[in-house]
Amino acid sequence: MDIRNVTIRKFRTEDANRVSNIIKSNLVEENNKDYPEAALKLAYDQFTPKYVLTLSNNNKMYVAVEDGAIVGTACLDHDVITNVYVDFQYDGKGIDEMLVNLMVEIADNFGLRPVKLVTTNTLRKRYERLGFDLVEEVEIVEFGKQIIMEKYLD
């Protein structure tokens, strides 16, 4: 895979099933390192295609696409980047970085400073390399520990 072949576009209604599958796959394969089983089950059950559509209606949601296939997604909820997920076949290829950088650019264009990012402890260092700093670790009863980071924009 050549990252130059990956484009990012706004989420479309017909993307809901694929985005739901990418998120659920991440919950099972990646997030199990950071969250208790009950929290993962709750999140897994929540991220249906219908819920993804609700997210897309309430946030700025984008997808990364290669050769017509969706390989990643991210949301911007006001000044908070959430739901950054990439298909495992494409992990470590820079797609999450592309998505996060676009969300930062959009936030910057709207004058939203600083921009925050919600992530897991496993991915914290990855986002530190993109200029995000740890703000706090929040324990949410239903979902476990959330890592809140932020980046100040020029």
Per-residue pLDDT, 29 = 87
Q: Does the pLDDT of residue 1 top 70, yes or no?
A: no
Residue-number span of the structural domain to which 54 is assigned = 3-151
Tally of structural domains, the chain: 1
Q: Indicate which CATH number applies to the domain containing 34.
A: 3.40.630.30
Q: How far apart are CA 154 and CA 148, in angstroms?
A: 20
What is the reported pLDDT for 32?
78
**pLDDT, tens digit (0-9, with 9 covering 90-100), for 7-40:** 999 999 999 999 999 999 998 888 878 888 888 8
pLDDT at 143: 67
Sheet holding 133-140, edge to edge: 6-10, 60-66, 69-77, 80-86, 115-119, 144-151, 133-140
Q: Is 117 exposed, middle or buried (0-12, 13-18, 19+ CB in 10 A)?
A: buried
Q: How far apart are CA 73 and CA 11, in angstroms?
A: 8
pLDDT at 37: 86
Query: What does the pLDDT look like over 65-83, one tens digit per residue?
Result: 999 999 999 999 999 999 9
Confidence band of 140 (pLDDT split at 50, 70, 90): confident
pTM over 0.85: yes
pLDDT tens string 96-130: 999 999 999 999 999 888 999 999 888 899 999 99
CA 46, 36, 25, 73 torsion-angle sign = positive
